[in-house]
Amino acid sequence: MKKILLPIILLLLVAIGAGIWLYDAFYGNCVKERHSLFVYASYPYEQVADSVDQYIGKKWAYDLYAKRLGLKESLKAGHYVLEKGMSVIEVVRMLKLGLQTPVNVTMNNVKTPAYLAGKLSHQLHADSVELVKVLTDKDLAQKLGFSSPLTMFSIFIPNTYEFYWTVTPEDFVDRMYKEYKRFWTGERDKKRERSGLNRVEVSTLASIVYEETRKVDEMPRVAGVYVNRLKQGIPLQADPTIKYAMQDFGLRRILYRHLKYESPYNTYLHRGLPPSPICMPSIEAIDAVLNFEKHDYIFFCARPTFDGYHNFARTLKEHNANARAYQAELNKRKIK
């Protein structure tokens, strides 16, 4: 009897051991360290498998389970995070079901839809050509209630947002429009009435303010100058609009000949606001327009100290004196 029981016991122990080993192979810790995996739609399965292999153990178990679930035929593009300690089962099912981890998409300091498309293409799966096509889509702009794609540009509020990496350009714009509507709270709209501007006009003026100064504490005063000019019918004469009109954003010094450049964005030649924002203004710049400082300044000019702040003036005589001091410093520093 003992001779019969011993082999049986040994077989049971072997079976139990094998069972534990197999369980650990498929359900035990497999990922050695945390890693973000980006799977492009154009990637062949073998390339993805090679990438996964670098961060997991038990490759044979992964390959076996992936084959069983038909991962090669159903692998989905996306951003996946292999968390330390994940099992083979979890990794394969994550890829099979397309269980992506969102990515953070940051937008700021952008001047045109094309620039925005280029910036987004480095953060999302869509390429810049696809993005530009949607960002400049006239029908989409009208559908969202904007007169043109350039005024639709005002829906992009600088911030960091979570998106699935494979979001389509259309869904991206749709999401940003929802964020835009959330941004424009009842409180902001009530403040907006104080200026007499609509939402797009607020963003347009804010874009000029943002380009004039990055000093948040000075923005409401700069905004107040432009509101005064608008109400008095005085041309804005904003130098940043010249750069935008010429699409020369590296221009360091605005000369007299630049002021004659014909464009609806040239606020030296045309009264009122330009047709659309000249950049993506910061939230601080938008709020500065909504909370513009009430004063009687009509002019401002950069300080010759080059500290980022400006000298403000009520009369042309005061302004000319400020401008001469600044021009003299430009010449001294040989800035052309």
The mean per-residue pLDDT over the stretch 198-218 comes to: 97
1: its two tokens:
């009897």
**What global pTM score does this model have?**
0.86
Residues 211 and 280 in one domain: yes
Mean pLDDT, rounded, for 244-266: 91
DSSP 250: T
- Would you place residue 18 in the very low, low, confident or very high pLDDT band (cuts 50, 70, 90)? very low
Domain count for the chain: 3
Residue 173 belongs to some domain of the structure: yes
Question: What was the pLDDT predicted at 256?
Answer: 87
- For residue 10, pLDDT beyond 80: no
Assigned domain for 224 exists: yes
3 state SS of 311: strand
DSSP string, 159-217: EEEEE-TT--HHHHHHHHHHHHHHHS-HHHHHHHHHHT--HHHHHHHHHHHHHH---TT
Give me the mean pLDDT over the 104-132 stretch.
94
Confidence of residue 55 (pLDDT cuts 50, 70, 90): confident
pLDDT(297) > 90 = yes
Q: What is the pLDDT of residue 21?
A: 44
Q: What is the pLDDT of residue 89?
A: 86
Task: Show the domain range for 158.
Answer: 103-183
In this predicted structure, which of 85-99, 173-187, 257-271 has the lowest mean pLDDT? 85-99
What average pLDDT does the segment 217-226 reach? Answer: 97
Boundary-marking domain end, from 97, 114, 147:
97
Instruction: Say if residue 215 is in the same domain as residue 163.
Output: no
* CA neighbor of 113 nearest in space, from 138, 139, 133, 127: 133
State whether 90 and 111 are in the same domain.
no
- Of 97, 117, 144, the last residue of a domain is 97
Residues 6+ apart with CB under 8 A from 324: none
- The 10s digit of each residue's pLDDT in 275-285 is 999 999 999 99
* DSSP states along 37-95: EEE-TT--HHHHHHHHHTTBS-HHHHHHHHHHTTHHHH---EEEEE-TT--HHHHHHHH
pLDDT score of 336: 65
Q: How many CA atoms lie within 13 A of 29 on its CB side?
A: 6
